[in-house]
Amino acid sequence: MESKIKKDGGITLGFIIIGLLFLLVLSIILAITYGPVSIDYRDVAKILYYRIFNINTFEAVEILETPKTEIIWNIRFPRVLMGTVVGAGLALCGVVIQSVVKNPLANPYILGVSSGASLGATSAILLGAFSLFGHYGVAVGAFTGAIIISIFVFTIAFSGTGRGNTIKLLLAGMAINAMCSAFTSFIIYTAEDAEGIRSVTFWSMGGLTSASWNLLPIPLVTVILGTIFFLTQFRILNALLVGQESATTLGVDVVKMRKIYLILSALMTGVVVSASGTIGFVGLIIPHCVRMVVGSDHRKVVPISILCGSIFLIWCDVAARMVLGDVELPIGVITGIIGGPFFIYMMLTKSYGFGGD
């Protein structure tokens, strides 16, 4: 009688997380083996191990001087790490946003981040704005656009009467998104730079091509900090999901917490998107798939979504690199092609309500 309710939270969750961490490391190593030059996974593991732990044995030095090391360490590893970070960030923001607006259709881009980033990036690519940041002009432009537009969306949603209800936020996001897309289309339509137009298209579908050690630190640190913060917030995220009134009676300052979470999500999404372009679907489907399997409790949903988002995006990036042989596909094409049908499959086979009544 006594232990009818088991403390499943602890042990089972621990196993799941350790299992997923193992899968993540495995995915990182295997993903690095794919590319124009195929590299044995044992070599990948060795080289990463020697470099990361700074090992200087004779064997280590020998293998570190091969060209493989250059490919692995300077090209593929930062790219795979970027995939890990971006996948984790988008999945986490998806979880948070869905809880904050209590709407299963929500994704990190409803705050206007993606359309703002696209507008910023397009201006950078086609109009040469932000050129004083040189190589990082597109990233800086995207981030600036993302932040300005999400500030707009917040200001509209939280002003006037009714102090920021979530439907207003969703609608404000939609309206601003539509306006930004119109501006972006206008810039693209009037542009004559064919190469630029192609890179805008590529950017707006997302891709990890530009990933490098230089570009990695900001998204990495942002996503790690975001992860640490939101792992501590599971009780409040749960309370938000059952509604404003219940959350208040459970001692949660709903209005304040919603604002904090929205601002942090917008910042995190903005940073991630400016590094990778607007990769669709991850922030929507990963949280749902995780909820279908483990339920809505954020003790489980937050860490599992982060890990699944990383693993999912790493493999989507492998597909983006490999499917067409020597031409790289935008990763958004892959996430859509894989994610859509998978999502429908989950919908049809699992008894999951998607938050409908």
Contacts with other proteins by CB under 8 A lie at: 2, 4-5, 7, 9-10, 98-99, 102-104, 232-233, 235-236, 238-239, 241-246, 248-253, 291, 295-297, 352-353, 355-357
Task: List, in order, residues 6 or more apart from 190 with CB less than 8 Å away.
Answer: none
Minimum Å gap between C-beta 110 and other proteins is: 15
CA distance 13 to 264: 26
Minimum Å gap between C-beta 148 and other proteins is: 31
Minimum Å gap between C-beta 106 and other proteins is: 11
Nearer to other proteins by Cβ, of 18 and 55: the residue is 18
CA distance 76 to 81: 9
Minimum Å gap between C-beta 103 and other proteins is: 7
CA distance 35 to 33: 7
Nearer to other proteins by Cβ, of 136 and 229: the residue is 229
Nearer to other proteins by Cβ, of 98 and 310: the residue is 98
Helix (H) or strand (E) holding 171: helix 166-190
In this structure, how many other beta carbons lie within 10 angstroms of the beta carbon of residue 148?
A: 15
Nearer to other proteins by Cβ, of 104 and 336: the residue is 104
State the number of CA atoms in the 13 A half-sphere of 222 facing the CB: 27
In this structure, how many other beta carbons lie within 10 angstroms of the beta carbon of residue 232?
A: 9
Minimum Å gap between C-beta 12 and other proteins is: 13
Nearer to other proteins by Cβ, of 146 and 304: the residue is 304
Minimum Å gap between C-beta 14 and other proteins is: 11
DSSP state of 328: P
DSSP state of 325: T
Q: List the alpha helices (DSSP H) in 191-216.
A: 194-205
Nearer to other proteins by Cβ, of 294 and 337: the residue is 294
